[in-house]
Structure 1
Amino acid sequence: MNTKGFTTGLVHADRNAGVEHGALRQPIHTSVQYGFDRVEDLIGVFQGTKKGAFNYARQGTPTTAALEAKITQFEDGRGTVCFGTGMAAISAVFLTLLRAGDHLISSRYVFGNTNSLFGTLRKLGVEVTTVDAGSIDAVAEAVRPNTRMVFVETIANPGTQVPDLDALGALCRDKGLLYVVDNTITSPALFRPKTVGASLVINSLTKTIAGHGAALGGAVTDTGEFAWQHYPNIAEEYRRSNPADWGLLQIRKKGLRDMGGSLSSEQAHQIGLGAETMALRVGRSSDNALALARFLQGHRAIQKVHYPGLESHPQYAIAKKLFSSSSWLLSFELRDPARMIDVVNRLQLPVKATGLGDTRSLVIPVAPTIFFEAGPEVRQSMGIADGMVRLSVGIEELDDLIADFEQALAAA
């Protein structure tokens, strides 16, 4: 069946691949071990000569493979490896592809746990430089002879900064650097990093792709844009196959087999179900977020709103050019930061919780929670004010959301 639409291809992906008994979806395979009639086939799985077979669930199951195929389709990639969480996916990329003495350049504006992971990398001997990735000159100046990778998020959490994604792709191609893009906030429904030359794309499946706050997962997709035969950190045992497969093979073997960051079949199945409505959900939540951002921007109690869909946003032009919408993430600051706790407590619809990309709106004060460990100096460098409030906008009716914010802000 030939389909062009994003959602059409997604909802028919399993049956188009072939499912026994006429089922419309791949079943949940709970087996840990997978047996073979001939020991030669088992040997072939271990040596990489028998493709499409399974031997131990830590490295994948038919259910996780079905999800990997969907995500590869989302991102127009060459292949995907799924993990138990988004952080497991990010960790696998860094820890399997970087060595002591290597240099990583990252956007200064990244997820708090990713920033924490940079501290671990430094202790392992990897040099990490963080810059304002909205400035291509700043990134270019940071490149060294030992630079191996550039890492950015499409929209930064929580400050919503947008890197110069196109220019970064050109720079990485010119310098032969791995270009790794975390697509979690936009999701493949709004943006495909392959279009700007990304080598690897990371998605936290927990967020927009699964979408209901019911399953943890992460994924790394190889776009096919990087020439792995020129990358020095591929182990000899993984250089026996097609060079185009080397990077993802090493990520799978080291990240799943050695590190054990595996996604269960049950969670993979749940994520696959949620993904079918991804475009519908992200369209609704993005429309809500833009309207709410405009409402907040015009409210007398609000000092500043951070949302790439607003013309006042510093990277509005980049976001408008690359993203089909500006997603569900926004943050705002009150004119009187002392009223922050009171305002958040007065909100009735948004759930006071961490997490992102749910069908429900979620709200959290940033500095005393998810960026508390980072400390005031790091928060200041990342543009996180003490009174910043992060909002992951859900699919509720817009009138209900605005009415709730009106009553909560009345006291401020």
Structure 2
Amino acid sequence: MTKLGFTTRQVHADRMLNAPEHGGVHTSTSNSVLFEFNDAQGIIDAFQGKRAAHVYSRSSSPSVAALQNMLNDLEGGAGALCFATGMAAISSALFALLKAGDHIIVSQYLFGNTRSFFDTIVDFGVQVTYADVTDISEVMDAYQPNTKGVYTETVANPVTQVADLRAIGQFCNEKGILFMVDNTMTPPPMLYAKDFKASLIFCSLTKYIAGHGNVLGGAVIDTGEFNWQTFSNIKPGYQVEDVTQWGLTQIKKKGLRDLGATLAPQSATAIALGMETLALRISRSQHNALQLATFLDNHPKVAKVFYPGIADHPQHFLAREYLNDGYGAILSFDLIEGADPVAFLNEMKLVICATHLGDNRTLALPVAPTIYFENSAEDREKMGISDTMLRISVGIEDTADLIVDFESALATV
């Protein structure tokens, strides 16, 4: 059979990768917490890592394993692990891999909750340097002898700065450090982080992967690009025969098992179902986002639009090089001076005021007093966040209907 297209692969991924029982096209939801071993030696071998088996559903279950196989295939990786939320994936993995005295370089444009986590690990003795990831010289200048890796999003939320992924990936490869990429905003087929030498890919499955605003989940995918033998923090007990699995083994044991942020089987099933239409939904959302951004960019009541598809975006040409089929489906904009973002949002009839992104429905919220309220005014200024900024997650509605809703609300400003 010739190589299948992206959507064909996703529609058939579950049955092709996981061979569901009884000829099903979807893996059944397995609600069992425990798993029986007819031979007691089997459970001993499973605990000691000598054989692969489900032992206790906090660490693994058939439903979650099926989703992990699909995600790993999606990103072309060496393995994947799922968690209860995107933040659980980030925190569990980094708590498992880092220790006091380590240093990590982090994007200064990082999403609020993720940045809050990095502020937390400072209290555990991990050194964090925030850098402008659109400028490789700043990343290079932040490097120290104890640097273990670089962490960045592909496209920042909400100001849409585009990280210089190719340059950072090359730098991390030369230094032998982890390149950790949060690909939530630009999942395949929009962008393949492995192409930029990403070591670990993080993703909030809640967003575009699931797509329907009805389930939480997160994942970390090991691309197989990193040589874990050079990473001094891997404990001897987790140095399994397959070197490519060292990182995931430690994350599974010290992160997923010990911290316990397990993805529920029912959630895994819902996420797997949402993945089937991933490319179709993203293509439609990106189309709508470009049309809406162009409309807003030409409106007299809008001071500035932040969207990589706009020609004057600082990383427009980088986005053209990196992204497929569009420029993403997140945009932000500032209203003109003196306008009230709250009053504007209250005039919206179709667009929903909510904190989420990657949904089928278009969502909006005022940025500074909500998701970045805990950040200081100085930090928000460094991130490019104004007091009047509005973030829009563009959905799959009819384009004309969206523009009419924004036009009507802008008329009241």
Q: TM-score, normalised by structure 1?
A: 0.98
Which residues in structure 2 correspond to 1:116-131 (within 5 Å)? 116-131=116-131
Paired residue for 1:214?
Answer: 214
Paired residue for 2:294?
Answer: 294
Change (3 A) 1:337 1:213: farther
Amino acid at match of 1:355: H
Paired residue for 2:307?
Answer: 307
Q: d(CA) in 2 for partners of 1:170 and 1:345?
A: 46
Paired residue for 1:192?
Answer: 192
Paired residue for 2:266?
Answer: 266
Paired residue for 2:360?
Answer: 359
Question: Alpha-carbon deviations, 1:332-353, whole Å to 9, x = none?
Answer: 0011243221111111111111
Q: Which runs of 5+ in 2 are unaligned?
A: none
Paired residue for 2:169?
Answer: 169
Q: d(CA) in 1 for partners of 2:257 and 2:48?
A: 14
Paired residue for 2:380?
Answer: 379
Question: Alpha-carbon deviations, 1:69-90, whole Å to 9, x = none?
Answer: 1111111111100000000011
Paired residue for 1:46?
Answer: 47
1:408 and 2:406 aligned: no
1:251 and 2:251 aligned: yes
Paired residue for 1:319?
Answer: 319
Paired residue for 2:108?
Answer: 108
Q: Contact (CA 8 Å) 1:209, 1:271: kept in 2 or not? A: yes
Specify the SS of the correspondent of 2:58.
helix
Q: Contact (CA 8 Å) 2:10, 2:277: kept in 1 or not? A: no
Question: Alpha-carbon deviations, 1:151-206, whole Å to 9, x = none?
Answer: 00011001100110000000000001100000000112200100000000001000
Paired residue for 2:392?
Answer: 391
Paired residue for 1:15?
Answer: 15
Is the deviation greater in 336-345 or in 69-78? 336-345
Amino acid at match of 1:354: T
How far 1:2 sits from its partner (Å)?
5.7
Paired residue for 1:150?
Answer: 150
Change (3 A) 1:3 1:20: farther
Amino acid at match of 2:253: K
Q: d(CA) in 2 for partners of 1:120 and 1:208?
A: 27
Q: Which runs of 5+ in 1 are unaligned?
A: none
Q: d(CA) in 1 for partners of 2:136 and 2:240?
A: 37
1:348 and 2:354 aligned: no
Q: d(CA) in 2 for partners of 1:2 and 1:235?
A: 42
Q: d(CA) in 2 for partners of 1:162 and 1:328?
A: 13
Q: Contact (CA 8 Å) 1:14, 1:26: kept in 2 or not? A: yes
Paired residue for 2:30?
Answer: 29
CA-based RMSD of the aligned residues comes to: 0.9
Q: d(CA) in 1 for partners of 2:115 and 2:226?
A: 25
Specify the SS of the correspondent of 1:58.
coil
Q: d(CA) in 1 for partners of 2:149 and 2:22?
A: 46
Paired residue for 1:231?
Answer: 231
Amino acid at match of 1:380: E
Paired residue for 2:65?
Answer: 65
Question: Alpha-carbon deviations, 1:50-85, whole Å to 9, x = none?
Answer: 12x100000111100110011111111111000000
Amino acid at match of 1:273: L
Amino acid at match of 2:365: I
Q: d(CA) in 1 for partners of 2:91 and 2:327?
A: 26
Question: Alpha-carbon deviations, 1:200-243, whole Å to 9, x = none?
Answer: 00010000000000000000000000000010000111013221
Is the deviation greater in 195-204 or in 368-377? 368-377
Q: Contact (CA 8 Å) 1:33, 1:55: kept in 2 or not? A: yes
Q: d(CA) in 2 for partners of 1:134 and 1:93?
A: 25
Question: Alpha-carbon deviations, 1:304-342, whole Å to 9, x = none?
Answer: 000011111100111100110211100000112432211
Q: d(CA) in 2 for partners of 1:410 and 1:141?
A: 47
Question: Alpha-carbon deviations, 1:31-68, whole Å to 9, x = none?
Answer: 000111111111111011112x1000001111001100
Q: d(CA) in 2 for partners of 1:322 and 1:260?
A: 35
Amino acid at match of 2:278: M
Q: d(CA) in 2 for partners of 1:337 and 1:305?
A: 17
Q: d(CA) in 2 for partners of 1:348 and 1:304?
A: 23
Q: d(CA) in 1 for partners of 2:24 and 2:93?
A: 35
Q: Contact (CA 8 Å) 2:187, 2:208: kept in 1 or not? A: yes
Paired residue for 1:77?
Answer: 77
Q: d(CA) in 1 for partners of 2:240 and 2:365?
A: 49
The alignment of Structure 1 onto Structure 2 pairs a total of residues equal to 411
Q: d(CA) in 2 for partners of 1:88 and 1:214?
A: 18
Specify the SS of the correspondent of 1:194.
helix
